[in-house]
Structure 1
């Protein structure tokens, strides 16, 4: 398994998360009371949009943490090995999601 290939893939994924963070900042800003807006429904829409933006940020943060953990496993020589049984995981599966830590057999139980 080529660790450099996975490090590059993870770096690309982290960079994409950074770009998404930049695009999502406006949606998380404080919702102000705009007296010129149509009223309560406009504020509710704005609050709902803010909540959705914060939830998306939370998911990006969790993904970022998982990707950084994968980088640590690469550095420690543990990447690509199932945490439960110790067997090697399929490289194609890791290319799709380098954050997985358990093989398909262990996930299925």
Structure 2
């Protein structure tokens, strides 16, 4: 079995990449409120409640950082699809492999080069 053509890769992965990207962007907008700084108001929020709120805010910020990293990876994969470079190892130039791309379509290295 030969390597898929760039058009076959586009048909297979473009919808998946776009769907995940849209989902992440939507989640980012929906969780913006959780990442806002915690206000200091000793009258309405006790010290432990404020510490809990600060911890929640920090976790939301960390999740957003991971989300943005994934968004950048998805956008890069879409650019590679547009340039017909998707699926090819950026180190050795060999085809990455469909199973590896199925696991993570943003990967840029074949199994051997990733080691």
TM, length-normalised to structure 2: 0.85
* Structure 1 equivalent of residue 12 of structure 2: 5
Structure 1: distance between partners of 2:95 and 2:57: 42
- CA-atom RMSD in angstroms: 1.3
Structure 1 unmatched runs, 5+: none
Mapped pair 1:78 → 2:88: no
Q: Normalized against structure 1, the TM-score is what? A: 0.90
Tell me the distance in 1 between the aligned counterparts of 2:13 and 2:30.
26
Instruction: Return the alpha-carbon distance in structure 2 between the equivalents of residues 36 and 12 of structure 1.
Output: 41
1:66 aligns with 2:77: no
User: In the alignment, which residue of structure 1 is the partner of 2:107?
Assistant: 100
Aligned pair count? 107
Alignment of 1:13-52 (within 5 A): 13-34=20-41, 35-37=43-45, 39-52=46-59
